[in-house]
Amino acid sequence: MGPDELLSLFDFHPPAARRVDRVLAGAHTVADLRRAARRTLPRTIFDFVESGAEDEVALHRNRSAFDAIALIPRALRGVGRVDTTTEILGIASSLPIALAPTGLTRLVHRDGEPPVARAAAAAQIPYTVSTMSSVPLEEIATAAPGPMIFQLYMLRDRGVCRSLLDRARAAGCTALMLTVDSQISGLRERDLRNGLTIPPAIRPRVLLDGVLRPRWTWDFLRGERIAFANLAFAADRSSIVEDVARQLDTSLDWRAVSWLREIWPGRLALKGILAAEDATRALEHGVDAIVVSNHGGRQLGTAAAPIDLLPEIVAAVQGRCEVLLDSGIRRGADIVKAIALGATGCLIGRPYLLGLAAAGEAGVARAIAILAEEMRRTMILLGASDLDSLESHAVRRAMP
Ligand SMILES: Cc1cc2nc3c(=O)[nH]c(=O)nc-3n(C[C@H](O)[C@H](O)[C@H](O)COP(=O)(O)O)c2cc1C
């Protein structure tokens, strides 16, 4: 009897391949993938992915803001083929979607980032590698050759940043995304209550969690220690999160953007812009794109929802740079709303992590496919055959 069969006795799951088939058979929406992920992950890890900062007001607002937008279809427009192709940060994409950077993906699935990068490449959409990835960026690049985006957390030691950028370029990252909303970590209180440490330590709560989710625990116990694989200074310590936190530069200001603009020859994006004034300031610093984002509600506990601020930001930049948006996208219709309000593309975070947890690479592929199909259906129903014909009069704030 192999480990998979043995585990099946405990958590009533059939062996891995059949389990994936069963999960996929029931996964028609991102919410279905979320339910499957919840059955797979220990509570501590599920909460790490799902939770928001403080009272999670921003987290919930991200969803309610999308729901508050109503769509107004145009009749009899004769939509034949729907064209969703575009370019994101200079990378051709089959959809106006890139996968957002998420750190420590091996917490969610034993193989970490490579299956995510492969699923993105197969779907012909860009993947963003995080500074905090749990597999070295070179290995991720080897898993899925082709252009990628590299996300940078600016560290105090600019030498470390510079060498990260050199490595990212050499590995095939053609665009850089500097995250500007995270110079201190948001207070995710579920993590505090759960006693989550990185790497997870065996505490009573985690032990109980692990017994209830033996497949994850088995992978975790057999796998290499989970760490920030790109950051040598944090590789072998017990308190790696504290080490990295000390490296985050809270005094970061616009000079860092000028510095990056000088040393990075490719496209440059700032992720975490919410104020229209900052969007125009980014333009003055030669930035090619901004990501209107509240980090999925994980940083500032009561931040505004990006989709609410999008129209004023689009008005401020007047087409002079790409405007990407993330935080709260769970449906293809959410992407359509963002594009109609002037975004040039979207990033998605949790939907693909939940897919990964539920069914590995196939789960990531399913998350992307669900959003793509929902988008296509929404566009036909709206009477829009391509992204340019998604006009702002297709969206209204719903009447209360
Ligand atoms: C588990 C997790 C880890 C994340 N890690 C990073 C990161 O390393 N760098 C970063 O810029 N953003 C990170 N983010 C934020 C995402 O890039 C993105 O802004 C957010 O997930 C979008 O919201 P959504 O999850 O509702 O789609 C992370 C988000 C999650 C859920």
Judge whether residue 203 has pLDDT over 90: no
Please indicate whether residue 306, judged by its CB atom, sits closer than 6 Å to ligand 1: no
Distance 84 CA to ligand 1 centre (A): 24
Cα–Cα dist 114/134, whole Å: 10
Mean pLDDT across the chain: 93
Q: What is the CA radius of gyration of the chain?
A: 21
Return the ligand 1 atom nearest residue 151 CA. 11
Matching residue, tokens 């931040």: 303
Whether 393 is catalytic: no
In this prediction, residue 397 has a pLDDT band, given cuts at 50, 70 and 90, of: confident
Return the ligand 1 atom nearest residue 295 CA. 19
pLDDT at 199: 78
In this prediction, residue 7 has a pLDDT band, given cuts at 50, 70 and 90, of: low
pTM above 0.75, yes or no: yes
pLDDT at 393: 81
Closest CA to 100 of 366, 353, 354: 353
Q: Which residue has the least CA distance to atom 13 on ligand 1?
A: 102
Higher-pLDDT residue of 4, 46: 46
Judge whether residue 400 has pLDDT over 60: no
What is the pLDDT averaged over residues 109-125?
Answer: 98
Judge whether residue 9 has pLDDT over 70: no
Query: Nearest 10 degrees: CA dihedral of 100, 395, 66, 58?
Result: 90
Judge whether residue 94 has pLDDT over 90: yes
Cα–Cα dist 66/49, whole Å: 20
Q: What is the pLDDT of residues 235-270, one digit of tens each?
A: 555 556 777 788 888 999 999 999 999 999 999 999
Q: Which residues pair with 129 in a beta bridge?
A: 150
What is the pLDDT averaged over residues 339-343?
Answer: 97
Distance 299 CA to ligand 1 centre (A): 10
DSSP 315-347: HHHTTSSEEEE-SS--SHHHHHHHHHTT-SEEE
Q: What is the pLDDT of residues 271-292, one digit of tens each?
A: 999 999 999 999 999 999 999 9
pLDDT at 15: 73
Mutate which of 102, 137, 300 for ligand 1 pocket (most atoms within 8 A of beta carbon): 102
Q: Which residue has the least CA distance to atom 7 on ligand 1?
A: 102
Catalytic entry in 60, 109, 295, 393: 295
Q: Could you tell me where the beta strands, DSSP code E, fall in the chain?
A: 69-71, 86-88, 91-93, 97-99, 128-129, 148-152, 173-179, 267-273, 289-292, 322-325, 345-348, 395-397
Distance 349 CA to ligand 1 centre (A): 5
pLDDT at 16: 84
The percent of residues in the chain predicted with pLDDT above 70, rounded, is 94
Enumerate domains of the chain plus CATH numbers: 18-397 (3.20.20.70)
Buried b (16+ CB within 10 A) or exposed e, 266-283: bbbbbbbbbebebbbbbb
